[in-house]
Amino acid sequence: MKTQVAIIGGGPAGLLLSQLLDLHGIESVVLERRSRDYVLSRIRAGVLEQGTVDLLRAAEVGARMDRQGEIHDGVEISWHDERLNIDIKDLTGRGVMVYGQTEVTQDLYTARDARGGTVLHEAEVTGIEGIEGDGVTVHFTHEGEAKTLTADFVAGCDGFHGPSRKAIPESHRQEFERAYPFGWLGLLSETPPAAPELIYAAHDRGFALCSMRSPTLSRYYVQVSLSEKLEDWPAERFWDELRTRIPADVAETLVTGEPLEMSIAPLRSFVSEPMRHGRLFLAGDSAHIVPPTGAKGLNLAASDVYYLHRAFDRFYNHGTSEGLDAYSETALSRVWKCERFSWWMTSMLHDFPETGAFERRMQRAEFEYLQMSETARKSFAENYVGLPY
């Protein structure tokens, strides 16, 4: 097989890139190691920045999002029973779109099918050759057979555990990491959301989040220690813990139900530099991870893909490699700012088991500063709705 851009990974980053390249007349093949059903069963965050929304519309995959997604003009932060509403629309002129990542991925698959895009499933990449040369060969297994795909370039959209990042020689790669000593236990239920807006709740027992997917589908999280096991969390225990951590008036009216899904995810901040080596370009989780506080993961994948598809467009359609040469620096500049915001929000709202009294007072001071200062709220809102591309 032969194409212009070989894309490893059929998550949101890889699919969106292939769709945008196609719209610019650039060929690609997506190799995805899992089945489509498996990819679509992964439940991830559900808040889209304006820039992501605009990019999905430009990629001609925004119609269902525009019909079914909900625009939110505000977000709440609570501290025990104190509630702080941050009117992000008033502060920035923009809102965010509540629409699940699973739905975004579904819409991307539908669009790739409609345009006859090649997305191979159960196609596991086993090796990448030639990234320092004048063409690349991607080795993969598909339907039990070893196969190859040759291409001008390779886009590594294969998530944190994929092979692309590791194809950059260690001597040319630097990794930065902060692992947090806790995870999020999430629960999805067919119940109306606890409140009209998302509530990020800080509490002495740990962080909690009330989120949603639609007027009838809610998503909740509670911070848990890394040693917690899913089997020790029957739904009733989850609901009790959530009620304890969120403001009492919200807890009183909370509608609970049977979980559709429950899972535990560890929290991590991670960046690998550079995001380009020769003919290999990384995008999304393959290059960076953020903790979910602030829901930046998918949005960062989208901004990478924005820069990368424009760089390929300039290369193939305008004969200049300037965009490709600037890609790593351009993308990383935005990545680090989003890393900072996700790390800051995580630090302010979670219970850190090792933390002493001084740090706890600092967390409280951050909250009080947001309460008293419109400037602080504006800075929060500017980051929450998404920094410009």
Residues 6 or more apart in contact with residue 226 via CB below 8 angstroms: 181, 182, 183, 266
72 interacts with ligand PHB by CB under 6 A:
no
Instruction: Catalytic residue, from 288, 296, 309, 350: name it.
Output: 296
86 interacts with ligand PHB by CB under 6 A:
no
Site string for ligand PHB, 11-50 (x = CB under 6 A): ----------------------------------xxx---
108 interacts with ligand PHB by CB under 6 A:
no
52 interacts with ligand PHB by CB under 6 A:
no
Structure tokens at 112: 């790739």
Pick from ligand PHB, ligand APR, none: which does 158 bind, CB < 5 to 8 A by kind? ligand APR
99 included as an active-site residue: no
Residues 6 or more apart in contact with residue 107 via CB below 8 angstroms: 56, 61, 64, 65
125 interacts with ligand APR by CB under 6 A:
yes
369 included as an active-site residue: no
DSSP element (H, E) containing 21: helix 12-23
Strands (E), 307-375: none
306 included as an active-site residue: no
296 included as an active-site residue: yes
Structure tokens at 180: 């947090």
Structure tokens at 74: 């505000």
Structure tokens at 216: 């009838």
* 170-229: contacts with ligand PHB (CB under 6 A): 198, 211, 219
Instruction: Catalytic residue, from 109, 220, 307, 384: name it.
Output: 384
Structure tokens at 58: 């430009």
Pick from ligand APR, ligand PHB, none: which does 11 bind, CB < 5 to 8 A by kind? ligand APR
Instruction: Catalytic residue, from 99, 109, 180, 200: name it.
Output: 200
139 included as an active-site residue: no
| Nearest to ligand PHB of 120, 349 (CB atom) | 349
| Nearest to ligand APR of 145, 258 (CB atom) | 145
- The least distance separating ligand PHB from the CB of residue 292, rounded to whole angstroms, comes to 4
Site string for ligand PHB, 264-303 (x = CB under 6 A): ----------------------------xxxx--------
Phi-psi region of 203 (alpha: psi -120 to 50; beta: other; left: phi over 0): beta
Does residue 225 contact residue 181 with C-beta atoms inside 8 Å? yes
- The least distance separating ligand PHB from the CB of residue 101, rounded to whole angstroms, comes to 8
The CA distances from residue 331 to 174, 177, 302, 318, 355, in Å, are 16, 18, 11, 21, 33
The CA distances from residue 268 to 34, 77, 271, 319, 329, in Å, are 23, 22, 10, 39, 22
Which residues of this chain interact with ligand PHB, rule CB under 6 A? 45-47, 198, 211, 219, 292-295
Residues identified as active-site = 72, 200, 292, 296, 384
